[in-house]
C-alpha cells in the first residue's frame, strides 16, 4: 500500500473514532488487501493525527492475548495499541454517550521501574523490572459494526481502545502471583465471565515480552512508569446504559464502574 493510501486509512478511522460513527471493517469493502504491516503503519498515522489534535499517548497496551478473546473475536494473534490520556476514566461513572457500543474486559496492568527494550527479552527480564501491578478494566469500543473485524482492521482501529479504568492499590511483585490471580466480572450482580492470569499468554508478564518484541522493530522500548494493560483475561462483555459492572480480583483492587 502506498503512503498516501495508509494516510487515507488513518484519516478514515480517525473520523469514525472522533465522531463515534460505526463503519464496516476495512477489508470488507474499502481496503480488501490491507495487511497487518499496512495496518500498523496506519495505526502510527492515527496516533499522529491524535497528537496533532493535542492528545497524548498515556501507555501502550496489549490486546488479544487470551484464548477467550481469540475465540470470541475469531482471530489468532496478540496485537498492540495505545491508550491516550483522556481515555483514562477517573471517576468510575462512565457516560454511554462517549462510546458507540462499549464492552468491558478485566485486565492485569503492569508498571515497569525501568524502560525495557529488545526482541529477545525473557519473562525474567520483565519480572526483574516490575515496579508494581494494578487491576484494570478496559472499555473497548470497536468502530466496526457489531465488533466485526479481522486483525488488519482492528489494528488500524487502535485495537478498539476507548477507555481504561485502573484499580487503586499498587501491589508489589512479592504480593501477587499474576498467574493464579483470579477475576470475576459481574453486571448488575450477575456473574458474566471469570478467569485467571494464566489466560494471558500463560503469564501476564509474557505479554510485556511480546510488547517489547513489537516495539523493538521500531527501535523503541517498553516505557517505565505507566500502567500497561496486558490483555483481557476473559471474553469482553457488552454493557448498556444503567449497568453497574463489578470486577472482583483475588488480590488486586476490585473495580466498580457505573454506565449512565
Ligand atoms: C480488540 C481489543 C482487544 C484485549 O484486551 O484483548 C483487547 C477487541 O476485542 O475489540 O484489548
Ligand atoms: Mg484489552
Tell me, using a 6 A CB cutoff, whether residue 80 lines ligand 1: no
Q: How far apart are CA 230 and CA 184, in angstroms?
A: 17
* Per-residue DSSP letter, 130: E
Q: How far apart are CA 195 and CA 158, in angstroms?
A: 25
Which residue puts its alpha carbon closest to atom 10 of ligand 1? Answer: 160
Question: How far does residue 64's CA lie from ligand 1's centre (Å)?
Answer: 5
- On the question of pLDDT at 29 being above 90, the answer is no
Tell me, using a 6 A CB cutoff, whether residue 63 lines ligand 1: yes
Answer whether 258's CB lies under 8 Å from 239's CB: no
User: What are 118-127's pLDDT values in tens digits?
Assistant: 999 999 999 9
Q: How far apart are CA 191 and CA 187, in angstroms?
A: 7
Residues near 130 by Cβ (< 8 Å), separated by ≥ 6? 110, 111, 112, 113, 173, 205
Question: How far does residue 81's CA lie from ligand 1's centre (Å)?
Answer: 9
Provide the whole-model pTM.
0.97
Tell me, using a 6 A CB cutoff, whether residue 68 lines ligand 1: no
* Per-residue DSSP letter, 202: T
User: What are 33-52's pLDDT values in tens digits?
Assistant: 999 999 999 999 999 999 99
Tell me, using a 6 A CB cutoff, whether residue 197 lines ligand 1: no
Name the closest ligand to CA 80: 1
Amino acid at each position: 500500500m502506498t503512503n498516501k493510501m495508509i494516510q487515507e486509512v488513518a484519516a478514515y478511522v480517525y473520523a469514525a473514532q472522533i465522531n463515534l460513527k460505526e463503519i464496516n471493517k476495512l477489508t470488507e469493502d474499502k481496503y480488501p488487501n490491507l495487511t497487518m504491516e499496512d495496518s500498523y503503519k496506519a495505526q502510527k498515522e492515527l496516533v499522529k493525527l491524535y497528537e496533532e489534535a493535542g492528545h497524548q499517548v498515556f501507555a501502550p497496551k496489549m490486546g488479544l492475548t487470551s484464548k477467550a478473546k481469540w475465540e470470541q473475536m475469531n482471530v489468532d494473534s496478540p496485537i498492540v495499541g495505545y491508550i491516550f490520556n483522556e481515555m483514562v476514566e477517573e471517576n468510575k461513572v462512565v457516560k454511554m454517550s462517549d462510546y458507540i457500543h462499549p464492552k468491558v474486559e478485566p485486565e492485569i496492568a503492569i508498571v515497569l521501574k525501568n524502560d525495557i527494550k529488545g526482541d529477545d527479552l525473557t519473562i525474567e527480564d520483565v519480572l526483574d523490572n516490575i515496579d508494581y501491578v494494578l487491576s484494570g478494566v478496559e472499555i473497548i469500543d470497536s468502530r466496526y459494526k457489531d465488533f466485526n473485524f479481522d486483525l488488519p482492521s482492528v489494528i488500524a482501529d487502535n485495537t478498539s481502545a476507548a477507555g481504561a479504568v485502573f484499580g487503586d492499590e499498587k501491589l508489589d511483585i512479592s504480593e501477587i502471583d499474576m498467574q493464579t490471580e483470579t477475576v470475576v466480572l459481574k453486571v448488575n450482580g450477575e456473574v458474566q465471565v471469570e478467569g485467571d492470569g494464566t489466560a494471558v499468554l500463560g503469564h501476564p508478564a509474557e505479554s510485556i515480552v511480546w510488547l517489547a518484541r513489537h516495539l523493538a522493530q521500531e527501535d523503541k522500548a517498553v516505557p517505565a512508569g505507566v500502567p500497561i494493560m496486558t490483555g483481557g483475561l476473559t471474553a469482553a462483555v457488552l454493557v448498556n446504559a444503567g449497568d453497574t459492572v463489578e470486577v472482583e480480583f483475588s488480590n488486586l483492587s476490585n473495580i466498580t464502574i457505573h454506565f449512565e
